[in-house]
Amino acid sequence: MRYLPLTDEDRAEMLAAIGAASIDDLFVDVPEEARLSGPIAGLPLHMPELQVERELARMAARNMTAGAGPFFLGCGAYKHHVPATVDHIIQRGEFLTSYTPYQPEIAQGTLQYLFEFQTQVARLTAMEVANASMYDGSTACVEAIFMARRITRRAKTILSGGLHPHYLKVAQTLCRFTGDRLVALEPRLAPGRPGDDLAAMLDAIDEETSAVVVQNPNLFGHIADLSELAARAHAKGALLIAVVTEVVSLGALEPPGAMGADILVAEGQSIGNGLNFGGPYLGLFATRERFVRQMPGRLAGETVDAEGRRGFVLTLSTREQHIRREKATSNICTNSGLCALAFAAHMALLGERGLRQLAQLNHARATHAASRLAAIPGVSLLNGPFFNEFTVMLPVDSRPAVRAMAEMGVLGGVSLARLWPERPDFAHGLVVAATECTTPHDIDLLARAISEVIAQ
Amino acid sequence: MTREGRPTSPGGAAPGRPHAPTFTGNRALALEEPLLFEAGRLETSGVDFEAVPAHESRLGGLARKAPIGLPGLAEGECVRHFTRLSRQNYAIDMGLFPLGSCTMKHNPRLNEKMARLPGFADIHPLQPQDTVQGALELMHRLQDWLLKLTGMAAVAMSPKAGAHGELCGMLAIRAALDARGDARKVVLVPESAHGTNPATAAFCGFAVESIPANIRGRVDLEALLARLGPDVAAVMITNPNTCGLFEPDMKAIADAVHAAGGFVYCDGANFNAIVGRVRPGDLGIDAMHINLHKTFSTPHGGGGPGSGPVVFSAALAPFAPLPFVEEEAGHLFLVEEENAAAHHASAFGRMVAFHGQMGMFVRALAYMMSHGADGLRQVAEDAVLNANYVLRRLEDVLSAPYAATGPCMHEALFSDAFLDGTGATTLDFAKALIDEGFHPMTVYFPLVVHGAMLVEPTETESRARLDQFVGAMRALAARAREGGAGAMKAAPIHAPRARLDETRAARTPILVWQPPAADRLAAE
C-alpha cells in the first residue's frame, strides 16, 4: 500500500520492542463484540492510483462543466477566471500540508498571508478589521447575527427579502435553537428594484431590534444605497449587517463600510476560488475595531520576537473555544485557510487596478447581456441598477426552460423556482450572471436559447 | 546518518558558529519577505484583461468613490512573495508533524489532481441536477463508504468542519428531544474533551457539566452513571479519547444514557485509530462527526478548509439536516427543502448554503478507494503501532501517566513531571524540538494532565523517522535534566523567528497593516 511505509518486518520488530505479541494486543480495550475480524464487507479493496483515477474521471465526465459552454449561473457562486499562479501557490506543500499556525515560529508563512488577507478584506469592504476567514458566506451571516446579539443584548433580527434564501434558511435553522428571533421579510419582485425592501425595513426597526441584515447586490442583482438604513438602525441602537455574495462587485461599488455597515459578511469564493459544486468556499467577516472582541474566528496579529524582529501570531484567542470553551464567541475552529490564501494571492495579482478592470469587465458583460435579453419579445428585465447579475421574467416557467437550455448546451441561469419552489409568482423568474468569462458569443447563444424555449 | 538520524560527520551548521549580520537580513536560503502592502504598488497588476467594451453604466450612482488601497504585484513578484513566505512554514511534506488529535498524515497528490478535474471543480451548485449526476454519484458513493465504515444509519454531508459537524449532531439531538416534547437541558462533557465540545453544546442552548476522568485516563463511569437523569439530554464523548485511550466502557455508557432517555454524541476526531477495526455504530453511538481532513487525509491547508460529515443512528436519522443525496432507479437527486416532505419530513433544517465541501469529498473518496477496506484497517493498525512504539521508547525518560494501564491508541500522552526541578516547561521543550527540525506535539492539551504533550505520529511515518524523533526527544530530556533549561528557554534559535511575544499581540492588537506614520502624513 503506497501510503504506508512500514514493512512487515518493521511491524514485527516494533511489536517486539513494545512487548506485544500481535497487533490485536494493542486493541485490547475494544470490547470483543465490537472488534471486526477482517475488512468491512461491501467495500472494495485497495486500488492502484491508475484505477482510482479512471473511476473518478468517469464520474467527473458525467457532469456538464461551466467552462464547456455558455454559462450564466450566479446566486452566491460565480464563475471567474483564476490565474494559474494562484493554483500553483496554494499547491505548495508548505501551505497545503501545514496545520493551524499554533507554533508561530515555524508558521510565519501562514500567519503573514493571513495578516495580509485580513488587511485586503478590511480595505476592500472599507471596514476596520477582518478575521482570518469563516467557512462560507452563509455561516458567516448567522455568526454575524449572534455577534450583534452579544453587542446589543437584543434578540430580534430583521432580514431583507433580498437575502439569499439558503442564507436565510441557515439562520432560521440555528436561531430556532438559540432563541434569536428572526423577522424575515417576504421577497417582492417590484419592477426596477426586485428584492428591494428598504422602506419596509426602515419601518420594521424598533427598540428591540438587534440588527438588520441586507444583501447588496441582493439575490436578484439589485443594488441599493444602505446609508439611510444604517442611520435608522443606529438611531434605534441596532446594527447593520451587510451581506455580499459577489465580492468582485466591491471593485466597482460603494463598499458597505462607507455606507455605515457595522458588520460585513461575504462569500469570498469569486476571488481565487473555483465553483467546486458549492464548497469549499471562503467566508469573509469584517467589522469595526470597537467590536473586535465580540468577533468570531481566528485573528492574526502583528508582534515582535525575542530579538525584536517583526512577526505574526494568532491573537485575541480568549474569544475562542480552545481557551474559553463554553463561553467562546463561536465554536468555530478549522476555517478556510487555504481558500483565504487563494483569495490573497489572486488579490495580490489583481491589485487595485486589476480589480477595478475586472469589475468593469463584469459590469460591461452584464449590461450587454441584459440589453440583449430584454430585447427578446416576452422577456422583461426587472432590474434598474445592477452589477453583474440581474433578473428577467420569461413568458414561460423558468425551471423547465433552464433544463431545456441545458439540453442545448447552455447553462442559462438560476430559476427562481429552484430557490423558492413555494412561490408560484416567481415561477417565470430567471437570475442571469455574466462575468469576464462570458463572451459576446455566449450572450448570443443564451439569447437564441431563450428565444427557442419560449417558442417551444 | 546514524540509526537515530544524526549526521555521522559534522555538517555546516556547527553549533556556536557566529552569525555575521548580512546587509539584507537574509541568510542564504533563509529569506526575509516584506508585507504585500510594503512591496506592492496600486498601479501594478499581475493580470491582463481585454479592453472593457463600451457600455452604459447601470450602477445607479453607487459607483465606488474612494480608492481601495490594494497593492498589486507583477506575476513573478507574486510567485516570489508567496514562495518566500511558504518557506517560513513547517509542513507534513517536510517532516514529522506529531500534533496530537490533529492526525497530520501524508496528503496524497492524486487527491489534489482528482479534485481539480473540471467535472468536479468547475460545476455550479445550482445547475440542473441532470447536468451533475456524476457529482451526485460521488457524494452518494462517499455517503455509502461513511455509513459502512461506521455502521450507522444516515449521514449529513453538509457540515464544513469538525466543530460544524458537532453543531449538526447536537442540533439533531435537540430536534429529536423537541419532537417528543422533552426539554432536557444538560449535556455532560468529559473534562478531557476538545474545547469545541462545550462550545458547541453551549451554542445549542444546553447547560454544560463536566465529568471527571478516572486515574486510568478514562471517563469516570461511576460519576457519569450517578449524574444521569431526566435532565440529561446527551453525553458528548471522544473515543478514542484525547488521552489517546479507548473508552472500554463505551457500550455500557451508551446503554445507560439511552436507558435514561438521553443521546450519545461521539467526537470523531480520533477515528483514525479505529477505522476499519471498530464501527462506532456497534458501540451505541447516536451521532458522530468525521473530520475528512484528519482520518481521510484531505489537507489541513494551514487551518482549513475541512469537512465534517455527521453519521447518525436510526434514532436520530429522521432529524438529519438537508441536503443529502438519494438514488431512485439509477437517478441521483438532492433531498432539499422542496422534496423533503416526501423523503425526509423531520429534517431539522439546513447548515450551509449549497451542499457541503465537494472539493473535500473528492479527495476523501480518492483516498478511501486507494486504501480500500483492507488498507484502511491497516491504517488504524499502523497508526496505533507507531504511537505505542513512541510511547514505549520514551516512557523511561519522559512521564507517561497512563502507560501502566496498557497500550495507547493512535497517540501517546506525556506529562511534564519529568521536567520537575529542571526549570524547563512543556513549552520550552516544544520550542527546543523545533530546533531539532520537528513540529512540536500538541502541548497543554488535554487539560487533565499537567503540562501535557500529546504525540500522534500517524501511520505514514516510517520507523526511521520515529527513531530519529525518539532520539531527539531523549536527547532533549537529557539536556533538561543536565541543566540545559536555560538554553531551552531561548529556543527556537534556528527557526525563521525566535519566540514571539503573544502578550504584546493581545494587549495592543494590530490586526491590519497601517502605513508608517510618516507616509500617512505625506498622503494627507
Instruction: Write the CB contacts of A386 (distance below 8 Å, at least 6 apart in sequence).
Output: A217, A221, A222, A223, A366, A370, B58
Residue B149 is predicted with a pLDDT of 98
Check A278 against B356: CB less than 8 A apart. yes
| Cis? peptide before B240, omega within 30° of 0 | yes
Say if residues B356 and B324 touch (Cβ distance below 8 Å): no
- Among A319, A274, A332, A298, which Cα is nearest to A139's? A332
CB contact under 8 A, B131 and A166: no
CB-nearest partner of A43 from B120, B302, B372: B372
CB B389 within 8 A of CB B464: no
Tell me whether residues B460 and A368 touch, CB distance under 8 A: no
Identify the residue among A13, A28, A135, A418 best suited for mutation to test binding to B, counting B beta carbons within 10 A and taking the highest.
A135
Question: What is the chain A residue with the closest CA to B284?
Answer: A34
Q: How far is B509 from chain A (nearest CA, A)?
A: 6
- Interchain contact A196–B (C-beta under 8 A): no
Query: Residue B19: is its pLDDT beyond 70?
Result: no
The yes-or-no verdict on residue B12 having pLDDT over 60 is: no
Residue from A276, A287, A322 whose CB has the most chain B CBs within 10 Å, to mutate: A276
Structural fold of domain A84-346: Aspartate Aminotransferase; domain 2 (3.40.640)
DSSP codes, B272-319: GGTTTTB-GGGGT-SEEE--TTTTT----TTT------EEE-TTTGGG
Measured CA to CA, the distance from residue B478 to residue B483 in angstroms comes to: 9
Q: Can the peptide bond before residue B323 be classed as cis, meaning omega within 30 degrees of 0?
A: yes
Q: CA of B201: which chain A residue's CA is closest?
A: A326
Across the interface, whether the CB atoms of B304 and A318 are under 8 A apart is answered: no
Q: What is the mean pLDDT of residues B309-331?
A: 96
Query: How many cross-chain Cβ pairs, A to B, lie less than 8 Å apart?
Result: 720
Q: Which helix (H) or strand (E) holds B357?
A: none
Helix, strand, coil percent content, chain A, rounded in steps of 5:
45, 15, 40
Which of B49, B80, B82 is the best substitution to test chain A (most A C-beta atoms within 10 A)? Answer: B82
Burial of B331 (0-12, 13-18, 19+ CB in 10 A): exposed
Domain residue spans of chain B = 111-366, 377-507
Yes or no, beta carbons of A363 and B357 under 8 Å apart: no
Contact A387, A249 (CB under 8 A): yes
Q: Does A293 touch chain B (CB under 8 A)?
A: no
Strands A156-159 and A181-184: parallel
Interface test with B, best of A293, A331, A372 (most B CBs within 10 A): A331
Question: Which CATH code is given to the segment(s) A67-81+352-455?
Answer: 3.90.1150.10
Residues of B in contact with A170 (CB under 8 A): 349-353
Backbone phi, then psi, for A436, in 5-degree steps? -65, -20
CA distance B288 to B280: 8
**Cell matching residue B164:** 460544524
User: What's the confidence (pLDDT) of residue B10?
Assistant: 46
The pLDDT value recorded for residue B194 is 85
Give the chain B residue whose CA is nearest to the CA of A312. B500
- The three grid cell numbers given for residue A66, joined into one nine-digit string: 461551466
The one-letter code for the residue type at A14 is: M
Asked if A44 lies within 8 A of B245 by C-beta distance, the reply is no
Nearest CB neighbour to B463, from listed A10, A102, A176: A10
DSSP at A187? P
Cα A47 → chain centroid: 35
Phi-psi region of B186 (alpha: psi -120 to 50; beta: other; left: phi over 0): beta
Question: What angle (nearest 5°) sits at the alpha carbon of residue B233, between those of residues B228 and B234?
Answer: 80
Q: In Å, how far is B162's CA from the nearest CA of chain A?
A: 7
A6 and B462 within 8 Å at the Cβ level: the answer is yes
pLDDT of residue B231: 97
The CA-CA-CA angle for residues B333, B336, B338, to 5°, reads 105
A325 touches chain B (CB under 8 A): yes
- DSSP per-residue letters across B187-224: EEEETTS-THHHHHHHHTTPEEEEE-B-TTSSB-HHHH
Selection from B165, B175, B231 nearest residue B196 by Cα: B165
Q: Which of B81, B297, B354 sits opposite A279 (nearest CB)?
A: B354
Question: In sequence order, what are the residues at sequence separation of 6 or more whose Cβ sits closer than 8 angstroms to the Cβ of residue A79?
Answer: A66, A67, A71, A73, A275, A433, A435, A437, B122, B124
Q: Which CATH number fits domain B111-366: 3.40.640.10, 3.40.50.150, 1.10.540.10, 3.30.110.30?
A: 3.40.640.10
Domain edges within chain A: 67-81+352-455, 84-346
Lowest-pLDDT range of A28-32, B203-207, B275-279? B203-207
The values of phi and psi at residue A214, to 5°, are -140, 135
pLDDT beyond 90 at B35: yes
Task: List pLDDT tens digits, range B414-423.
Answer: 999 999 999 9
CB A246 within 8 A of CB A275: no
Distance between CA atoms of B28 and B8, rounded to whole angstroms? Answer: 24
Are B232 and B186 spatial neighbours (Cβ–Cβ below 8 Å)?
yes
Instruction: State how far the Cα of B49 lies from the Cα of A233, in Å rounded to an integer.
Output: 40
pLDDT the model gives residue B14: 45
Does residue B84 surpass a pLDDT of 90?
yes
Three-state secondary structure call for residue B107: coil
- Interacting residues of B408 by C-beta distance below 8 A, sequence separation 6+: B243, B244, B245, B384, B387, B388, B391, B402
- Mutation to test the A interface, candidates B55, B89, B192, most A Cβ within 10 Å: B89
Interface test with B, best of A7, A10, A33, A59 (most B CBs within 10 A): A59
DSSP A420-449: -TT-GGGTTEEEEE--TT--HHHHHHHHHH
Closest Cα of chain B to A171: distance in Å? 8
Of A15, A57, A326, the CB nearest to B198: A326
Out of A4, A88, A89, the one facing B382 most closely (by C-beta) is A4
| CB atoms B134 and A58 under 8 Å | yes
C-alpha distance from A397 to closest chain B C-alpha (Å): 14
Inter-chain contact B384–A27, Cβ cutoff 8 Å? yes
pLDDT digit string, tens, across residues B148-173? 999 999 999 999 999 999 999 999 99
CA dist B203 and A329 (Å) reads: 9
Tell me, rounded to whole angstroms, the distance of Cα A238 from its chain centroid. 25
Half-sphere exposure of B366 (CA within 13 A, CB side): 31
B-chain residues near A169 (CB < 8 A): 337, 349-350
pLDDT of residue B477: 98
Indicate the residue of A4, A91, A338 with minimum beta-carbon distance to B378. Answer: A4
**Residue-wise over A354-368: b if at least 16 C-beta within 10 A, else e?**
bbbbbbbbbbbbbbb
pLDDT digits (tens, 9 = 90+) for A77-98: 999 999 999 999 999 999 999 9
Q: B417 to chain A, minimum CA–CA distance in Å?
A: 22
pLDDT of res. B516 = 85
Tell me, yes or no, if A316 comes closer than 8 A to chain B by beta carbon.
Answer: yes
> So what's the pLDDT on residue B2?
65
A137: left (phi over 0), alpha (psi -120 to 50) or beta: alpha
Cβ distance B460 to A4 less than 8 Å, yes or no, reads yes
Q: Scanning every residue of chain B, which has its alpha carbon at the shortest distance from the alpha carbon of A318?
A: B506
Contact yes or no for A44 and B462 at CB 8 A = no
**Which residues in chain B have their CB less than 8 angstroms from residue A109's CB?**
85-89
Q: Does A227 touch chain B (CB under 8 A)?
A: no
Cell of B449: 494532565
Q: Are B278 and A34 in contact (CB under 8 A)?
A: yes
| Of the candidates B303, B342, B187, the residue with the CA atom closest to the CA atom of residue A320 | B303
**Fold held by B377-507:** Aspartate Aminotransferase, domain 1 (3.90.1150)
pLDDT band at B13 (very low <50, low <70, confident <90, very high): very low
User: Which whole number is the average pLDDT over B143-150?
Assistant: 98
Q: Which residue of B has its CA nearest to A254?
A: B64
Mean pLDDT computed over every residue of chain B: 94
The whole-number pLDDT of residue B20 equals: 78
Confidence check: pLDDT of B3 > 70: no
Instruction: Tell me if B354 and A178 make a contact (CB, 8 A cut-off).
Output: no
pLDDT of residue A67: 96
The residue in chain A having the minimum alpha-carbon distance to the alpha carbon of residue B353 is A166
- Residues of A within 8 A of B195 (CB-CB) are 320-325, 328, 333
Q: Do A304 and B124 touch (CB under 8 A)?
A: no
pLDDT of residue A41: 95
Instruction: Give the one of B148, B348, B495 whose C-beta lies nearest to A43's C-beta.
Output: B148
Q: Which pLDDT score, from 0 to 100, does residue B521 have?
A: 66
pLDDT value at residue B205: 87
The residue to which cell 468613490 is assigned: B65
ipTM above 0.95, yes or no: yes
Q: Does A103 touch chain B (CB under 8 A)?
A: yes
Residues of chain A under the 70 pLDDT cut: none
Contacts of A384 in chain B (CB under 8 A): 58, 60
Question: Would you say residue B518 has pLDDT above 80?
Answer: no
One-letter amino acid at A378 equals G
